[in-house]
Structure 1
Amino acid sequence: MQNVDELLEYAVGSGYVSGAVAMASAPGRGTYSSASGTASRDGGRISDDTIFEISSMVRPILTAAALQLVDAGKLALDEPLGAILPGMQAAHRLAGFDRAGSPMLCAARGALTLRTLLSHTSGLHSGTWGDAMPRAEASLDISRRVASTPLLFDPGSRWHYGGDLGIVGVIIERVVGMPVADYLRDGVFEPLGMRDTGFYVEYSARRRVAGGWRGLASTPGETAFYSTPRDYFDFMRAVLSRDGCLLSSNSFELMQRNQIGELTVPKVLRLESVDVPGEVNFYPEIRLYPGTECKWSLGFMVSAEAVSGGPSAGSLTCAAPSSAYCWIDPDSGVAGLLFARRSPGCPDLVDALFADLQQTVYEGHSVPPPAEPRRRHVLERLFEGWSKESWATWWPM
Structure 2
Amino acid sequence: MITTHILRDLICHTSGFIYDSSSTLLKKWSKSVGRSAHTFCGSMEGYTHPILFEPGTSWGYGAGLDWAGRLIENVCNCSLEEYMQKNIWSKIGATSTTFHPELREETLPRRLGMAYRVSVGQGTKSVKSIPVMLGQPLKDDLGGIGLWSTPNDFIKLLTALLQGGQPLLTKAGVDVLFRPQLSDASRAAMPLPLGSQMRRILGIKSVDDIDQADHCLAGTITLKDIPGRRPHGTVNWSGLPNLHWWIDQQTGITAALFTQLMPPGDAAVTGLLIELEIALYRALRKREDFSPVGKL
Answer whether TM exceeds 0.5 for this pair.
Answer: yes
Rounded to whole Å, the distance in 2 between the matches of 1:178 and 1:161 is: 26
Deviations 1:82-136 (A, max 9, x none): xxxxxxxxxxxxxxxxxxxxxxxxxxxxxxx11111121112223489547985x
Q: Is the 8 A contact 1:134 1:169 kept in 2?
A: no
The answer to whether residue 79 in structure 2 is matched with residue 174 in structure 1 is: no
Instruction: Report the equivalent of 1:244.
Output: 166
**Cα distance 1:178–1:172, how it changes in 2: closer, same or farther (>3 A)?**
same
The answer to whether residue 38 in structure 2 is matched with residue 114 in structure 1 is: no
Deviations 1:242-270 (A, max 9, x none): 2232124443223212111434263345x
Instruction: Report the equivalent of 1:386.
Output: none
Q: Is the 8 A contact 2:213 2:221 kept in 1?
A: yes
Rounded to whole Å, the distance in 2 between the matches of 1:167 and 1:320 is: 18
Q: Does the residue aligned with 1:288 lie in a helix, a strand or coil? A: helix
CA deviation after TM superposition for structure 1 residue 343, in Å: 10
**Cα distance 1:238–1:244, how it changes in 2: closer, same or farther (>3 A)?**
same
Q: Is the 8 A contact 2:238 2:244 kept in 1?
A: yes
Instruction: Report the equivalent of 2:119.
Output: none
Q: After superposition, where does 1:123-138 map in structure 2 within 5 Å?
A: 123-127=16-20, 130-131=38-39, 135=43
Q: Is the 8 A contact 1:284 1:319 kept in 2?
A: no
**Cα distance 1:168–1:182, how it changes in 2: closer, same or farther (>3 A)?**
same
Name the aligned partner's letter for residue 133 of structure 2.
S
**Cα distance 1:123–1:283, how it changes in 2: closer, same or farther (>3 A)?**
farther
CA deviation after TM superposition for structure 1 residue 319, in Å: 0.7
Of 196, 210, 222 in structure 2, the residue corresponding to residue 303 of structure 1 is: 222
The answer to whether residue 136 in structure 2 is matched with residue 209 in structure 1 is: no
**% identical equivalent positions:** 21
CA deviation after TM superposition for structure 1 residue 168, in Å: 0.8
The answer to whether residue 191 in structure 2 is matched with residue 291 in structure 1 is: no
Instruction: Report the equivalent of 1:218.
Output: 133
Q: Does the residue aligned with 2:66 lie in a helix, a strand or coil? A: helix
Q: Is the 8 A contact 2:240 2:262 kept in 1?
A: no
Rounded to whole Å, the distance in 2 between the matches of 1:168 and 1:283 is: 27
Deviations 1:129-186 (A, max 9, x none): 9547985xx5xx699x46xx3x322211112212211111111110111111111111
Q: Does the residue aligned with 2:259 lie in a helix, a strand or coil? A: strand
Higher relative contact order by CA 8 Å / sep ≥ 6: 1 or 2? 1
**Under a length normalisation based on structure 1, what TM-score does the superposition of the two structures give?**
0.53
Rounded to whole Å, the distance in 2 between the matches of 1:159 and 1:224 is: 23
Instruction: Report the equivalent of 1:354.
Output: 273
Q: Is the 8 A contact 1:142 1:167 kept in 2?
A: no
Of 128, 153, 162 in structure 2, the residue corresponding to residue 231 of structure 1 is: 153
Name the aligned partner's letter for residue 333 of structure 1.
G
Q: Is the 8 A contact 2:222 2:233 kept in 1?
A: yes
**Under a length normalisation based on structure 2, what TM-score does the superposition of the two structures give?**
0.69
**Cα distance 1:153–1:330, how it changes in 2: closer, same or farther (>3 A)?**
same
Instruction: Report the equivalent of 1:257.
Output: 179
Rounded to whole Å, the distance in 2 between the matches of 1:131 and 1:168 is: 16
**Cα distance 1:75–1:251, how it changes in 2: closer, same or farther (>3 A)?**
farther
CA deviation after TM superposition for structure 1 residue 215, in Å: 12
Question: Unmatched 5+ residue regions in structure 1?
Answer: 1-73, 79-112, 270-280, 370-397
Q: Does the residue aligned with 1:359 lie in a helix, a strand or coil? A: helix
Deviations 1:61-99 (A, max 9, x none): xxxxxxxxxxxxx96524xxxxxxxxxxxxxxxxxxxxx
Rounded to whole Å, the distance in 2 between the matches of 1:319 and 1:205 is: 27
Rounded to whole Å, the distance in 2 between the matches of 1:215 and 1:187 is: 34
* Higher-Rg member (1/2): 1
CA deviation after TM superposition for structure 1 residue 188, in Å: 0.4
Of 59, 84, 101 in structure 2, the residue corresponding to residue 184 of structure 1 is: 84
Instruction: Report the equivalent of 1:77.
Output: 4
Instruction: Report the equivalent of 1:328.
Output: 247
Q: Does the residue aligned with 1:349 lie in a helix, a strand or coil? A: helix
Q: Does the residue aligned with 1:124 lie in a helix, a strand or coil? A: coil
**Cα distance 1:125–1:348, how it changes in 2: closer, same or farther (>3 A)?**
closer
Q: Does the residue aligned with 1:166 lie in a helix, a strand or coil? A: helix
**Cα distance 1:216–1:322, how it changes in 2: closer, same or farther (>3 A)?**
closer
Name the count of aligned residue pairs. 241
Q: Is the 8 A contact 1:300 1:316 kept in 2?
A: yes
Q: Is the 8 A contact 1:125 1:152 kept in 2?
A: yes
Q: Is the 8 A contact 1:322 1:351 kept in 2?
A: no
Rounded to whole Å, the distance in 1 between the matches of 2:215 and 2:163 is: 20
Rounded to whole Å, the distance in 2 between the matches of 1:184 and 1:123 is: 26
| Root mean square deviation, CA, Å | 3.6
Instruction: Report the equivalent of 1:319.
Output: 238
Rounded to whole Å, the distance in 2 between the matches of 1:282 and 1:343 is: 15
